Structure 1
Amino acid sequence: MKQPSINIRNKRATFDYELVDTYTAGIVLTGTEIKSIRAGKASLVDTFCIFIKNELWVKNMHITEYFYGSYNNHTARRDRKLLLSKKELEKLQRGMKDPGFTIVPTRLFINEKGLAKLVIALAKGKKQYDKREALKEKDDRRDMARLFKR
């Protein structure tokens, strides 16, 4: 029996930030955390990444406690370590040195092998007028799609 595909997105990331470069990272999880993710009980709202002692950590990622977890259950918003190659970590650290840049998670999914992966992006914050422009473009695309459907 095929497992349903898990694809949890951070929709605010593309609205608030201009994504410059993306990376796919592994996550260090406990047993109950991966079970909750497979059940689709995770959220990337208000999530961000920081470097602590040359290691990349994701902060504020919410993974709901596993229903059958007993005393082994995890804390819902604990910090989780991300797994990337040394070259990728160095590239991200260089990118973070520029003012206005940050690392935001954009997508959480489970790959073919059953491992949880987090797509992160080096991003630059958008100004308010850029956000308004993005909304106008989105509305225009929607209107054009409606016209061509008729």
Structure 2
Amino acid sequence: MAKEMNNRQAYFNYYIEDKYVAGVVLLGTEVKSIREGKVSFNDAFCLFDDGELWVRGLYIAEYKLGTTNNHVAVHDRKLLLTKRELKKLTLKMKEKGYTIVPLRVFLNEKNLVKVEIGLGKGKKLYDKRDTIKQRDNDRELKRYV
């Protein structure tokens, strides 16, 4: 069984305020590729289209044993959330500076593929420098303890 795949870049570029776990509509070969751990979050983000939440730019490699029914590696995938969660996210997205980013892809206890998304506010360049400095300081402390 594959380990969960994390989007480390999202935590570096955004302050994550809220997290939600969403189901995702996938094809069979996409599920097999995810179980092999072939997922990349480069340039992945979420957007609303006609009241539904979609993830765009999430790369799931083609399944190596797939035949002519293999999936396209990068295409929009629908996220499944409750109406209450969608409404809450829609209201937050109308505020300036907020975006929704995928944080991790994992298999839950029922072996269903889930995507954890986060409502994030973009960091400024000086905030990113502070994050790097804090990470280096923590590393130094662990080295001497």
TM-score for the superposition, normalised by structure 2: 0.98
Q: Provide the rounded CA distance (Å) in 1 between the counterparts of 2:23 and 2:43.
A: 19
In structure 1, give the amino acid aligned to 2:27: T
The answer to whether structure 1 residue 138 and structure 2 residue 135 are counterparts is yes
Show structure 1 runs of 5+ residues with no match. none
Runs of 4 or more consecutive aligned structure 1 residues displaced over 2 Å after TM superposition: none
Root mean square deviation of aligned Cα: 0.7
Match in the other structure for 1:68: 65
CA deviation string 1:77-126 (max 9, x = no partner): 01000000000000000110110100000110011111000000000000
1: CA distance, partners of 2:140 / 2:92: 37
**Runs of 5+ in structure 2 lacking a partner?**
none
Alignment of 1:54-93 (within 5 A): 54-93=51-90
CA–CA distance in 2 between the matches of 1:127 and 1:39?
35
Residue 55 of structure 2 aligns to which amino acid in structure 1? V
Assess if the C-alpha contact under 8 Å between 2:98 and 2:120 holds in 1: yes
Secondary structure of the residue that 1:77 maps to in structure 2? coil
CA distance in 2 between partners of 1:66 and 1:141 (Å): 39
Aligned-residue sequence identity (percent) comes to 52
Q: Which amino acid aligns with 2:119?
A: L
Match of 1:101 in 2: 98
CA–CA distance in 2 between the matches of 1:146 and 1:69? Answer: 46
Q: Does 2:11 match 1:14?
A: yes
Taking structure 1 as the reference length, the TM-score comes to 0.95
Instruction: Tell me the equivalent position of 2:124.
Output: 127
Aligned pair count?
A: 145
Aligned partners of 2:2 and 2:37 also within 8 Å: no
8 A Cα contact 2:2 2:36, kept in partner:
no
